[in-house]
Amino acid sequence: MIEISLNQTPPEYRPGDVISGRVVWTELDEQTTSLETRLIWFTEGKGDQDVGVAISIPAKLTAPEGNLPFEFSAPTRPYSFSGKLISLIWAAEVVLFPSREGKRKQITISSTGKELVLDKSHKDSALKSAMRVSS
């Protein structure tokens, strides 16, 4: 069994903030040889999914039980956002190898720490804000 936890609640971060937490594993089978702790983003919505790995920290497993702290620096882009058609979601995740089983905790990254909401009323300003950071 594998779990991932974050030190900060709510998990809202600004670019440059430290995203820290801990990975805990118990009763892993002998075939599991390594794990990776990652900071990823992915999209959800009407179209095909897209995924990006911002930071990846591999680690070899030497015991069936253990824990490992992790620390990432929150990237400057892209911001977490949601519209009708697409949401961009950041997450800290841990993946076991070779099974590729894992756990994930969603977070938000933006200038305010909150997810940008692209509804009609402030779509333009929110989008411009996200674009400025991305460019």
Partner 1 sequence: MTKQHSGSSTGCGAQFLAARENPLCMDLVTRIKYRFAAQDWPWHLERLRKLNYRAAVVGPQGSGKTTLLYELLEHFRGSGIACHHVFLPRDRASYPGLLEQAFQKSRADSILLVDGMERLNLSERWNLLRMTKRGPGLVVNRHRACRFPQKLPTWLKTQTCPELMSQILKDLNLDAPVIQSTGAAAFAKSNGNIREALRDLYDQFSSGRFNEILAR
Binding site for partner 1 (CB under 8 A): 44-49, 82-87, 89, 115, 117, 119, 121
Q: How far is the CB of 86 from partner 1 (least distance, A)?
A: 5
Q: CA–CA separation, 112 vs 47, rounded Å? A: 27
Q: How far is the CB of 66 from partner 1 (least distance, A)?
A: 30
Q: Determine whether 55 is exposed, middle or buried from the number of CB atoms within 10 Å of its CB (0-12, 13-18, 19+).
A: middle
119 versus 124: smaller Cβ distance to partner 1: 119
DSSP conformation letters of 53-97: EEEEEEEE--SSSEEEEEEEEPPSSSPPEE-SSEEEEEEEEEEEE
Q: How far is the CB of 131 from partner 1 (least distance, A)?
A: 18
37 versus 82: smaller Cβ distance to partner 1: 82
61 versus 86: smaller Cβ distance to partner 1: 86
